[in-house]
Chains A and B, each alone.
Chain A
């Protein structure tokens, strides 16, 4: 029986029409809904394609051969696409492509989805204001989207995705053009989002370990590891060439393992603080 309270992939494989080799190969995993799932992996690992499957872009818009199953809550992006699409927010890798291309102002750009779905003007005003405040775009609301910096543009892309109040939010490398402060703000904001299943592809391993409930490592289309950031980072295979968070590297170097499980090294600042405290009090 399918469990309607989780995101589950069941022997999921996908091959693009123009390609012979599968980009995703036999992925099986499940996570409870409303968690933050971080996806990491090297170039051509299949991260973007996995995002596309979760958003229903493949095989709906880009064709190819999909086998196995993908289920998010009680819906499948493959079978229930139009309905599923309405409840899903997606942020593309390239923020320029995210824009409607027709909006004169940032406010109009954010309102685009709401207009398309026939939301009332008063609601639109209110939702746009709220979302802009969340993503620190209030000062830019009357500016043209073309005048924004790369980081602001990425925040705008995120704003357009969350203004519809999606149940599922898929973010494909949403911070690549942000400055360090903007990145920190973004991840801090991400932690405050509730009642939403978030899938995020990112290279920011430090922030990802701080924020994500679950990490998946993709390697040449295979899901080679999944679990909490703590578990995943402590059981890496050097062949995957995955970078580890600074905290973890430091803890390894100083030999500060977790107090509860001495075989594991911390991956978040909080975990580190605790084991440093323990190590200090031991001396």
Chain B
């Protein structure tokens, strides 16, 4: 059932043509919560990964690219506002990830382990392409992850172009992270009860 659309009392907001169903409205906070838990688990285990997009992946898979993009966006905005203001700008990266996952999933690129491999590379590329300019603008090209930045420092020390160095720094980290997240999402999605998958599919 489509939600009874947004009431257009004010012209300023009627241009936001995002039709959210109630199911998507409650799925997104859950996805943000999962992002947050996964991130905290990764930190707790001292994994060299973020895992902070797991919820965004699952939201995209369950309710489509728009839901994923919004989850990613809101995730960074709220996380940024409350905990780490600069990460707010990476909301754009999260939108890209959400859309990429949604489209890849829809096209069947999450069906088996081999295809997930390809998906992970594509998603890591999308994420890196969007993040690199942000890294350069805000952090002079660093990512804030120690060993990624070590690569960055070595490359810069050898007079390699800052963009290339920053891209490498980000891509190495993203590739590892998105592989882990894509496979986790793939394995978790297969364990979700069919009624759950149907519910979010019906209520898109």
Contact = CB atoms under 8 A, between A and B. Distances in A.
The reply to whether A and B meet directly (CB within 8 Å) is yes
Of the listed residues B194, B198, B202, the one surrounded by the most CB atoms of chain A closer than 10 A to its CB is B198
How many residues of A sit at the interface, in one of the four size bands? under 10
Interface in A3-25: 16-19
B1 interface: yes
Nearest to A82: B4
Interface string B1-29: 10000000000000000000000000001
B203 interface: yes
A61 B193 contact: no
Nearest to B4: A82
Interface string A31-46: 0000000000000000
Interface residues of B, number: 10
A62 B193 CA distance: 14
Nearest to A17: B198
Interface string A99-132: 0010000000000000000000000000000000
Interface in B12-52: 29
B1 A60 contact: yes
Contacts of A62: 195, 199, 202
Count chain B CB atoms within 10 A of each CB in A16, A19, A61 and give the residue with the most.
A61
Contacts of B199: 62
A61 B1 contact: yes
Interface in B161-204: 193-195, 197-199, 202-203
A249 to B, nearest CB: 38
Nearest to A18: B194
A18 B195 contact: yes
A254 B18 CA distance: 69
Contacts of B198: 17-18, 63
Contacts of B193: 18
A101 B195 CA distance: 23
Contact of B195 (A16, A60, A61): A16
10 contacts: A16-B195, A17-B198, A18-B193, A18-B194, A18-B197, A19-B195, A61-B1, A62-B195, A62-B199, A63-B202
